[in-house]
A and B are shown apart, each in its own frame.
Chain A
Amino acid sequence: MKALGSSGWKGPVKFRMPTAENLVPIRLDIQSEGQRYKDAFTWNPSDPDNEVVVFAKRTVKDLKLPSAFITQIAQSIQSQLSDFRAYEGQDMYTGEKIIPIKLDLRVNHTLIKDQFLWDLNNFESDPEEFARTLCKDLGVEDPEVGPAVAFAIREQLYEIAIQSVASARESRLSKKGRRGSDHGSASKASGLSMDLVKLFSFKSSVVRKRKDLDVYEPVVDLLTSEEVDALEAREERHAR
């Protein structure tokens, strides 16, 4: 047990998205002049900064929004990018982390609910590939679902990466000397990760327990227009 634990500990890694492509999820929600613009997409932070303005102009032109949106969109994207970049210099611990990722989104008429395990340590993982395969396998016809799924996954990964940076900072501040096993316990305490050891020990089997089966199954629902309207109204009420 102990040997396994220590082998699981990895040195601190420079912060980045734990995916093959270091893409940042960007969410926009801008209201101005009575119009509301909501959007979510992924951005590559290594692209030059002038791309932000180009993108903002393009979007405003395509969606025929008032031109006041251009600066607001550009600013919002820039601030999210600089937040991301601020994290970039710092260390994060990844450890042996397998986390459950939950999807619960509605895109136009399609509702998707799903939960699956994701290996945070796998820096070759590709949420885009996963989203494409998911939509293809589930026969989702609406092409806007794919990007939304990829975005949701990325957002959650981003959150967790930020948390691990914060926890790394904390552990460094509080416990100056001993890191390894202490950090392992800290991450377990966060409750998100699963203990690999427990999962794959010879006592338990890899097969999922019955009660978890429903949770881990993807569900796709096609809604009618009235249901969509009802849901939207409810969301707005919650937002307020």
Chain B
Amino acid sequence: MAAKAPDSGGSGEILPITPSLSETTSGVTAASQSTQPPSSSSDVDTVYVPSYSRWFSWTDIDDCEVRSLPEFFNSKSSSKNPKFYIYLRNSIIKQYRDDHPRKISFTDVRRTLVSDVVSIRRVFDFLEYWGLINHSSSSSAKPLKWDEKSAGDASSEPPTTVKETAKRICNGCKSICSVACFVCDKEHNSKAYTYEKFKRVELSEESKKVWSEKETLQLMEAVMHYGDDWKKVATHVTGRTEKDCVSQFVKLPFGEQFVKESDSEDSLEAFDKIKGSADLESGGSDKEGSSPNKRMRLTPLADASNPIMAQAAFLSALAGTKVAEAAARAAVTALSDVDYEAEKNATGDPHRQDANANSGGDITNSERAWADAKSLIQKEEQEVEGAIKEIVEVEMKKIRDRIVHFEKLDLEMERSRKQLEDMKNLLFTDQLNIFFHTRKARKSEDRVDC
């Protein structure tokens, strides 16, 4: 099955796994498959593998491996074959798991494998990228140094941020967090709970809800630089989690970034319109549906793949909100006028205009039915046109083929004519030769006679 590459956010859920062959010496226990952290676990023994690497199996090779490491599968060299690849991969993973949770280094591995070092490095990098080795495990289970406000330790339930309620309750001591709490946004892997991974979040009611200027600025910068990579954005913005950043960004009034005037509402509309018109022109741009329009308005700037959007946004930024808004309105009305004209010409029916003008208003049933019938007829016309076009194309192709065929025949004719000519010439020269010979023969006869 094709597995998509993990995105840099590493947002896959974690599955604890057991190897299907039981050869590891460190007893790997089978934890139940859940995204919740195990409440009391022998942490050292459970190996976690990210869900995007679910395809891994000791005895099989998955497509993504073939794609990423083609050198083993293109039979260019006899010893770099799939079996050899399996040997390398399994030995690396086994070695890592034997020493889990210690991170394994490339040099450890390459000293123990019989192969040339560059191939080993490629397999090693591949496995590390897919989280099959060295996956978010700390090098040593340091005891968590908790702030005195929130107590907890590595083996008990890891604290999570409770976002839904207004007050934060510490998962460790079950009391309300007052001054500050430590927040960890990593996956719920107990190995990940080292001191560094926790961010200190100051808790006062305002700072939780209201974003300061500085933070907003940082958010903007981060989004400009990193685009969709919310993990990086969150690290750039001090004190805010990923979810916070995303929700704040979504709520941001767009004009803030580009326009110094606080014409936020208008600019919102203006860009909506621009987007609308760009959609009409470009036939719709596809963005993730999860975020509302706001995000779509900003990301085109960072998103070079939709040049029309980027251009439009850039130009509107240059021109300023009022101008952009006016231009957009004019563009939209012009477009709808064109539409409107076309339909008027096609039908010349006043009812249609009414239907247009009253769209969303109080149309009577008959008018609506009339409008529906109209659209159906138009659709049929288009279909018929399409069919006619196809037929014409086919006929054209036939004619073209016949012409080609005819040209070939012509060429053949030429050739045979030329051949005929040649033969005629040959015949002529032969005749001449014979004539001369007979002349000569007769002459010599005469001479002899005389």
Contact = CB atoms under 8 A, between A and B. Distances in A.
Contacts of B117: 41-43, 55
Interface stretch (B24-32, B72-80, B206-214): B72-80
A132 interface: yes
Contact of B107 (A54, A63, A132): A63
Interface stretch (A82-90, A139-147, A160-168, A200-208): A139-147
Nearest to A143: B112
A47 B118 CA distance: 8
B83 to A, nearest CB: 11
A62 B117 CA distance: 14
B146 interface: no
A47 B122 CA distance: 11
A92 interface: no
Contact of A20 (B79, B106, B111): B79
Nearest to B120: A41
A131 interface: yes
A4 to B, nearest CB: 30
Contacts of A129: 79
Contacts of A59: 106-107
Contacts of B108: 62
B77 A62 contact: no
B104 to A, nearest CB: 9
A132 B114 contact: yes
Contacts of A155: none
Given A62-B107, A144-B112, A54 B79 contact: no
A126 B79 contact: yes
Interface in B77-129: 77-80, 91, 95, 105-108, 110-119, 121
A150 B79 CA distance: 14
Contacts of B77: 20-21
B114 A146 contact: yes
A124 interface: yes
Nearest to A45: B116
A127 B80 CA distance: 13
A146 B78 contact: no
B114 A131 contact: yes
Nearest to A41: B117
Contact of A44 (B91, B105, B110, B118): B118
A144 B111 contact: yes
A42 B116 contact: yes
A74 B106 CA distance: 17
Interface of A is mostly: helix
A44 B370 CA distance: 76
A41 B107 CA distance: 11
A23 interface: yes
Contacts of B91: 143
Contact of B106 (A51, A62, A128, A150): A62
Contacts of A43: 116-118
A169 interface: no
Interface residues of B, number: 21
B6 to A, nearest CB: 22
A124 B78 contact: yes
Contacts of A188: none
Contacts of A58: 106-107, 121
Contacts of B107: 58-59, 62-63
Nearest to B78: A20
B118 A150 contact: no
B102 to A, nearest CB: 13
A55 B121 contact: yes
A25 to B, nearest CB: 10
Interface in A128-182: 128-129, 131-132, 143-144, 146-147, 149-150
B114 A55 contact: no
Interface in A23-60: 23, 41-44, 47, 51, 54-55, 58-59
Interface in B355-404: none
A55 B118 contact: yes
A128 B110 CA distance: 13
A143 B112 CA distance: 5
A146 B113 contact: yes
Contacts of A20: 77-79
Which residue, B78, B110, B117, has most C-beta atoms of chain A within 10 A? B117
Given A63-B107, A147-B111, A44 B116 contact: yes
Nearest to A129: B79
Which residue, B116, B117, B118, B119, has most C-beta atoms of chain A within 10 A? B116
Contact of A41 (B78, B79, B110): B110
Interface in A96-152: 124, 126, 128-129, 131-132, 143-144, 146-147, 149-150
A147 B120 CA distance: 12
A42 B121 contact: no
Contact of B114 (A44, A47, A124, A150): A150
Contacts of A147: 110-115
B97 to A, nearest CB: 14
A59 to B, nearest CB: 5
B113 A21 contact: no
A129 to B, nearest CB: 7
14 contacts: A20-B77, A21-B80, A43-B117, A43-B118, A44-B119, A58-B121, A126-B79, A128-B79, A143-B91, A144-B112, A147-B110, A147-B113, A147-B115, A150-B114
Given A43-B116, A126-B79, 11 more contacts: A21-B80, A42-B117, A44-B119, A47-B118, A59-B107, A61-B105, A128-B114, A132-B114, A144-B112, A147-B113, A150-B114
Interface of B: 77-80, 91, 95, 105-108, 110-119, 121
